[in-house]
Amino acid sequence: MSAHLIAPNFDLSATLNSGQAFHWEPHGSDGFVGCVGNQAMLLRQSGQRIHVTPPEAREGARRYLRLGEDHEAVLRSFPAQDAVLAEAVAYCPGLRILRQPLWECLATFLTSSMKQVAHIRQISLRLRQELGESCRLGDLALGAFPEPGVIARAGERRLREFGLGYRAGFVHRAAVRLASGEVRLEEGEALDDEALLEFLLTFDGVGEKIANCVRLFGYGRLAAFPVDVWIERVLRERYFGGGEVGRKELVRFVADHFGDYGGYAQQYLFHHARTSRGNSRSRP
DNA sequence: GTCCAGGAGAGGC
DNA sequence: GCCTCTCATGGA
């Protein structure tokens, strides 16, 4: 039994494997299994349809995949004279931004600093398997991302067993803050973009880059533009002719160049730089 | 074995 | 304000 969603110009595989979420596992020839919150689901794309199993996960999947939004408006908003961005969009036009549950988004990106995507993925899966609530999907048992209280009780030492290294303290302290009720991530929903940034920066281990990832992939602030090592390289090489440009100047540039949907532009540039052939650092 | 990763924070200047 | 160093780990 499954339900389906209409998803025009959508690339499920690229979207789930583009360094936003890290826990989706291939299933069968063209499916992916994972949890969104505590809902286990199988997603499978055929043409413009995405089939969701079980059917009761349909609305959760729709929200997570941000379906039903006007993606053409996003593409129209991009700077008209930007050939670099146009190339990245043409490379994978079906790539989208996800809308992830806030805590799993924050916690996952707290583990991301100075880590390769493959390793962030390994940590995310281990946290889910070892500490997360087990969610059944037919014969499969998938792990939800562990609640703050569970991580708080597990302790920093236990987290280090999962390969978090010095990031274990960041994740643990954030979990303790949330589990104690001192703050709630949902408070951020009501804040404007700037106030939300300030709020996220109050978490130890969250700097501007990770805060922007959480604003973009969790809170759905589509103008947020995370500048990581990949984006920094692309900007320097393709937008500034390989010249010596300070990181600060790059941040200033993206703020007024890419516009209201800069987060999408960023994701297209990131995905293209990281996965396309011709980039010596990327793997085929 | 070597390089480097979706960084942040502290310290020096 | 900007530059540099350290933090911990494992995939490529």
Cβ of A190 near strand C (distance < 7 A): no
Residue A104: CB atoms within 10 Å:
25
In chain A, which residue ranges form alpha helices assigned H by DSSP? 12-16, 58-64, 71-77, 83-91, 102-110, 117-131, 148-154, 156-160, 167-179, 193-201, 208-217, 229-234, 247-257, 262-275
CA of A216 to C1' of C3 (A): 29
User: What local confidence, expressed as pLDDT, does residue A108 receive?
Assistant: 98
What's the whole-model pTM score? 0.97
* Cβ contact A106:A202 at 8 Å: no
Does the nearest atom of strand C lie within 7 Å of A114's Cβ? yes
In the DSSP assignment, the letter for residue A205 is: T
Write down the pLDDT at residue A163: 96
pLDDT tens, per residue, chain A with 284 residues: 889 999 999 999 999 999 999 999 999 999 999 999 999 999 999 999 999 999 999 999 999 999 999 999 999 999 999 999 999 999 999 999 999 999 999 999 999 999 999 999 999 999 999 999 999 999 999 999 999 999 999 999 999 999 999 999 999 999 999 999 999 999 999 999 999 999 999 999 999 999 999 999 999 999 999 999 999 999 999 999 887 888 888 998 998 899 999 999 999 999 999 998 655 554 43
Query: Is any atom of nucleic acid chain C found less than 7 Å from the CB of residue A281?
Result: no
Which residue gives the smallest C-alpha to C1' distance to C10?
Answer: A119
Is any atom of strand C within 7 angstroms of residue A166's beta carbon?
yes
A48: Cβ under 7 Å from strand C? no
Confidence (pLDDT) at A1? 80
A149-CA/C9-C1' distance, Å: 26
- Residue A276's pLDDT is 87
Q: How far is the CA of A113 from the C1' of C6 (A)?
A: 14
Using C1' positions and the CA of A19, the closest nucleotide is B6
| Burial class of residue A243, CB neighbours in 10 A (0-12, 13-18, 19+) | exposed
Residue A54, preceding bond cis, omega within 30 degrees? yes
Give residue A233's pLDDT.
92
pLDDT value at position A283?
44
Per-residue model confidence (pLDDT) at position A284: 36
Query: Which residue from A158, A133, A157, A136 is spatially nearest to A145, judged by alpha carbons?
Result: A133
